[in-house]
């Protein structure tokens, strides 16, 4: 049995931070390998990469569950003077959360999950390319089996459900029941709005999204916008991948990706502003706190609020396009010369139920999430078999979005998440939309003149406000606490509905 | 004290392979991070990257020096039946070599070297950009201090010198004294040839190397050639970096880089064929042996022979250009339409003493190496201070190449090696030239019709011959043994001088 004999609690705290930082340092290496696998790695590298990731996961887990961390935590938790010092209480609280979580998981399960996820990610890519859920089914069965084991090791309250145990990793303390209580009324109100829109007398034209533009110019344009809104390219990269994401190893090395279609610069721009929002959050964490909770993002819901805010509240606003419209000409010449500001703004805000989540508009997007949330809960509770997954998925698309899914690629194979072993993750996207709307209302009222600033391409005051109010805190507050602290209110669907109705009804002449 | 109680030696051997593979697996992660640092990492990532590399070096070292490896080795070494099985003796011999080497180095020194090398690599890049050796000097002082410690920990025979201890890592069993015995007469003969060439009556025109060609087309062209000579892009990549190199984590994920100048496709092609030669060697190692000595390259000298052979014996031959000349038109259109085959072949073989090693022709190249070899030996023996390094370097350039070095960027700051903590490495380049010429003579006589094959772009027989005679063996033989086995003779300067004189004298009308 290891023994810790510090002369005082602050020494224990330093040792604790050192040990936790070592584990996070190794995890930051994993992050680079994961990014590399999605963007750079040659095809034949996949087997060896899964072995590398399995080894790193095993080693990181071993560092995280070192009993000395538990002993050091206990010493720190018992010293009120230490806990009174700035940041200490929050760091210790969050290190305890992580430690308790990690020590519940057997090393073999952690390694098996890491290895299976890496292999199954590749299997998903191939199955998706061939639009064959049946090819991917054995991998998903294996993954759901492992995730069920994981959830049961972690445990959940008697009045909760297995899904909660997994979701807690992404959105601390959020329960399926609480999410249901927000999603059910939100679904009703969204469907009313969407139905109104589908019957609107004067929908915007789609010309913007039918304009063919060269990929190289699109790359230059989205990179320019990412830089303009505040992503620092000396501390990050932008690459291309099938499923856009933002990763990287720390706040000075943030790796985001996007994707391109010749006829849809709007998709590349939305993806890029979205990932840049994540990236700006990561870059806004304090380097001095790298490797400890105060230097880490608080939750995926809050993370997603940052990406959504830049993608939607900023990037789909009329004020953004007052600045962006002439910029298009700088990058595409006459390629966009035929488009009016109204056509671009309308085109960026077309609402149309579709099959693909990442291509969805702001209004229907949340219905895509609700499908996944329902399916995940059923899979994990055992009320749905993997075999029946495509049918369940397709029925829910019919019910929520009124659509008949034509094939697996367009249906239940479209997302990377399950193939990576991530369940309990999807609802954080809609939480992000809710947080984004609520935070943006507060930012607007505090800063005052955001429309004028956007119209002249000045995004710095907004970025600075987010840096100060959200980013720099890291995990100092729990997400619900942070929301209340910054906006003065608990999370509510009202700001999101105000945002959507206030913007979309005029665009659609309602 | 750990205890190994195998029921039989073959179990010990399996355990041994497992442990060594684990260490090499972690080292293969390091290789990806190193590649990433040179090609992808944003500037601000450097401090954190050095911490990641330091951690991985420490962990890898710990795995390599695990006393259980020593115990398992002893068990295996004492079982003649085990050693008689195919491949076992060589694997055990080489694992012993690695283990003995690693256990001589304190973990703190290994970690310090890894961290300093990463930081100093960055310092070198900045110092080089500003052409200021004095900026880099403190880093080099620190590195030479650490390398001196390393050499002294490793030890060297009384009749040897400190340099030998470092060089043994790159070219097993090669001594400075032996290299001197080859380099001294080689220098004399090269200088005679170069002097003849400099006074030649009809030198080739330089038009090929003055032809401006778009970088994108150059990229497509060199990628095409790399693929054509046998580099497998499903198991590797080609990117751009300041100093071209070939890295990657195993035979199915090989990462090579090259560089481009608008007026010199020949430089990009030479660099690419060179690195592709390294890459083809790596890809020719057997995946079933990944992580153990039989799946690793035998030495840097032999590695370099593979790159030189493709770069020089193939890529600068008249037969290669009989095929390559019309291909140029496919990639550059009229950009190369004015060039005759004779002008291209002559242009690819111009001999001209210059300052930059990686831009040097086949004949003068070896003189660049001799300068570095002399300087390294003097630095490590203590007969030269870092402060006096630029003067020493510049004097030797005057003596060997007849050139007055104008500044540090063009002088002693040009190479990445010392900044990465690699000393004892440079002579492997000239050993590579010697091996390449000797191996190519053998391959030519065995295969028979290489000129005709090259002229129609069929490089497969040569690649297959190298796969079978060199690559697949991994570290089965020591380099000198492999040379004798394949060519029937010990390494000699004769084939290289035959190659150079036989090609260059006719080109220069001598």
Q: In chain A, positions 254-273, which contact chain B (CB-CB < 8 Å)?
A: 254
**Token duo for residue B415:** 């190479």
- Specify whether the CB–CB gap between B258 and B222 falls below 8 A: yes
Which residue shows structure tokens 């990050």? A236
What residues of A are in contact with residue B235 (Cβ under 8 Å)? 42-45
**For a pLDDT cut of 90, what percent of chain B falls above it?**
92
Q: pLDDT digits over B211-268, tens only?
A: 999 999 999 999 999 999 999 999 999 999 988 999 998 999 999 999 999 999 999 9
The average confidence (pLDDT) of chain B is 95
A148/A109 Cα distance (integer angstroms): 11
**Interchain contact, A33 vs B28, CB within 8 Å:** no
**Token duo for residue A176:** 């399926």
Range B9-155: architecture per CATH: Up-down Bundle (1.20)
**Interchain contact, A55 vs B233, CB within 8 Å:** no
User: Which range among A448-452, B50-54, B110-114 shows the weakest confidence by mean pLDDT?
Assistant: B110-114
C-alpha A434: how far from chain center: 13
Position A319 scores a pLDDT of 98
- Specify whether the CB–CB gap between A253 and A201 falls below 8 A: no
**Token duo for residue A295:** 């230097």
Q: Could you tell me how many CB contacts below 8 A there are between chain A and chain B?
A: 93
B403/B388 Cα distance (integer angstroms): 18
- Specify whether the CB–CB gap between A495 and A438 falls below 8 A: yes
A445/A435 Cα distance (integer angstroms): 16
What residues of A are in contact with residue B232 (Cβ under 8 Å)? 44
Torsion (CA) A171, A177, A178, A183 in degrees, nearest 10: 100
Per-residue confidence band for B2, with pLDDT thresholds at 50, 70 and 90: very low
Q: Pick A25's closest partner by Cβ from B29, B52, B235.
A: B52
Q: pLDDT digits over B159-216, tens only?
A: 999 999 999 999 998 999 999 999 999 999 999 999 999 999 889 999 999 999 999 9
Helix (H) or strand (E) holding A59: helix A46-64
Position B30 scores a pLDDT of 97
B279/B298 Cα distance (integer angstroms): 14
Query: Residue B17 above 50 pLDDT?
Result: yes
Position A7 scores a pLDDT of 54
Q: Taking CA atoms, what residue in B is nearest to A251?
A: B45
**Token duo for residue B278:** 């390294």
Q: Pick A250's closest partner by Cβ from B25, B33, B48.
A: B48
Per-residue confidence band for B114, with pLDDT thresholds at 50, 70 and 90: confident
Which among B54, B275, B304, B362 is annotated as catalytic?
B275
- Specify whether the CB–CB gap between B29 and A29 falls below 8 A: yes
A213 touching chain B per CB within 8 A? no
A200/A212 Cα distance (integer angstroms): 27
Q: What's the gap in Å between the CA of B453 and the closest CA on chain A?
A: 29
* CA nearest to A148, candidates A393, A348, A335, A421: A421
Averaged pLDDT for residues B286-312: 97
A458/A276 Cα distance (integer angstroms): 16
Q: For residue A130, give every residue at least 6 positions away whose Cβ sits within 8 Å of its Cβ, in sequence order, or none.
A: none
Position B64 scores a pLDDT of 95
Q: Pick B48's closest partner by Cβ from A47, A236, A249.
A: A249
Q: pLDDT digits over B411-464, tens only?
A: 999 998 999 999 999 999 999 999 999 999 999 999 999 999 999 999 999 999
**Interchain contact, B235 vs A47, CB within 8 Å:** no
What's the CATH number for A179-507? 1.10.1370.30
* CA nearest to B182, candidates B496, B505, B436, B424: B496
A413/A407 Cα distance (integer angstroms): 9
**For a pLDDT cut of 70, what percent of chain B falls above it?**
99
Which among A38, A54, A275, A359 is annotated as catalytic?
A275
Helix (H, G, I), strand (E, B) or coil at B424: coil
Which residue shows structure tokens 């778009």? B214
Q: Taking CA atoms, what residue in A is nearest to B291?
A: A48
Q: Pick B55's closest partner by Cβ from A25, A33, A42.
A: A25
Is residue B275 among the annotated active site residues? yes
Q: For residue A403, give every residue at least 6 positions away whose Cβ sits within 8 Å of its Cβ, in sequence order, or none.
A: A353, A354, A355, A397
- Specify whether the CB–CB gap between A423 and A166 falls below 8 A: yes
Q: In chain A, positions 277-316, which contact chain B (CB-CB < 8 Å)?
A: 290
What does the DSSP 8-state code read for residue A352? -
Q: Pick A41's closest partner by Cβ from B29, B253, B290.
A: B253
What residues of A are in contact with residue B48 (Cβ under 8 Å)? 28, 249-250, 252-253, 290
Q: For residue A336, give every residue at least 6 positions away whose Cβ sits within 8 Å of its Cβ, in sequence order, or none.
A: A211, A213, A328, A329
Sketch the domain layout of chain B as residue ranges.
9-155, 176-507
B279/B257 Cα distance (integer angstroms): 10
The dihedral built from the CA positions of residue B314, B315, B321 and B326, taken in this order, carries a sign that is positive
- Specify whether the CB–CB gap between B434 and B309 falls below 8 A: no
Show the DSSP H helices in B285-426 as ranges. 300-308, 318-332, 341-347, 365-381, 389-396
This model of the complex carries an ipTM of 0.89
- Count the neighbouring beta carbons within 10 Å of the beta carbon of residue B239: 15
C-alpha B231: how far from chain center: 17
Position B7 scores a pLDDT of 55
Averaged pLDDT for residues B270-289: 97
What residues of B are in contact with residue A250 (Cβ under 8 Å)? 45, 48
Q: For residue A395, give every residue at least 6 positions away whose Cβ sits within 8 Å of its Cβ, in sequence order, or none.
A: none
B342/B296 Cα distance (integer angstroms): 40
Could you say which residues of chain A have pLDDT below 70? 1-7
* Domain at B176-507, CATH from 3.10.20.30, 3.30.360.10, 1.10.1370.30, 3.40.640.10: 1.10.1370.30
């Amino acid at each position: 049995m290891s023994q810790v004999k510090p002369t005082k609690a602050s020494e224990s705290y330093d040792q604790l931070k050192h040990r936790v930082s070592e584990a996070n340092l190794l995890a930051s290496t994993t992050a680079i390998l994961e990014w590399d696998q999605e963007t750079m790695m040659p095809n034949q590298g996949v087997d060896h990469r899964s072995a590398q990731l399995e080894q790193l996961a095993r080693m990181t887990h071993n560092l995280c569950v070192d009993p000395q961390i538990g002993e050091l935590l206990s010493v720190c938790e018992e010293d009120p003077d230490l806990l009174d010092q700035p940041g200490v209480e929050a760091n210790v609280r969050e290190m305890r959360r992580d430690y308790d979580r990690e020590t519940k998981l057997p090393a073999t399960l952690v390694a098996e999950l890491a290895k299976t996820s890496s292999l199954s990610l590749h299997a998903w890519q191939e199955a998706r390319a061939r639009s064959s859920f049946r090819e991917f089914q054995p991998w998903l069965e294996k993954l759901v089996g492992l995730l069920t084991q994981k959830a049961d090791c972690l445990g959940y309250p008697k009045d909760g459900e297995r899904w909660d145990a997994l979701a807690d990793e992404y959105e601390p303390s959020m329960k399926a029941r609480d999410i249901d209580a927000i999603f059910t009324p939100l679904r009703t109100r969204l469907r009313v709005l969407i139905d109104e829109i589908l019957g609107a007398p004067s929908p915007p034209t789609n010309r913007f999204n039918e304009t063919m533009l060269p990929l190289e110019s699109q790359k230059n344009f989205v990179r320019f916008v990412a830089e303009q809104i505040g992503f620092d390219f000396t501390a990050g990269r932008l690459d291309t991948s099938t499923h856009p994401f933002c990763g990287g190893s720390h706040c000075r090395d943030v790796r985001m990706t996007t994707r391109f279609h010749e006829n849809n610069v709007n998709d590349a721009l939305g993806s890029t502003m979205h990932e840049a929002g994540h990236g700006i959050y990561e870059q806004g964490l304090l380097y001095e706190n790298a490797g400890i909770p105060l230097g880490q993002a608080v939750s995926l819901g809050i993370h997603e609020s940052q990406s959504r805010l830049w993608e939607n509240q900023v990037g789909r606003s009329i004020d953004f396009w007052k600045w962006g419209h002439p910029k298009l000409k700088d990058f595409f010449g006459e390629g966009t010369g035929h488009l009016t500001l109204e056509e671009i703004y309308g085109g960026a805000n077309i609402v149309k139920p579709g099959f693909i989540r990442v291509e969805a508009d702001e209004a229907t997007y949340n219905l895509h999430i609700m499908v996944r949330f329902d399916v995940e809960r059923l899979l994990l509770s055992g009320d749905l078999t993997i075999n029946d997954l495509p049918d369940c998925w397709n029925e829910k698309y019919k019910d929520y979005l009124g659509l008949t899914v034509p094939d697996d690629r367009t249906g239940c194979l479209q997302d990377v998440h399950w193939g990576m072993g991530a369940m309990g993750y999807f609802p954080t996207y809609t939480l992000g939309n809710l947080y984004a709307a609520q935070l943006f209302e507060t930012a607007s009222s505090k800063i005052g003149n955001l429309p004028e600033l956007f119209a002249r391409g000045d995004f710095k005051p907004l970025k600075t406000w987010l840096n100060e109010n959200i980013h720099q805190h890291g995990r100092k507050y729990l997400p619900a606490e942070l929301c209340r602290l910054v906006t003065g209110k608990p999370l509510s669907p009202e700001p999101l509905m105000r945002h959507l109705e206030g913007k979309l009804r005029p665009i659609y002449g309602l």
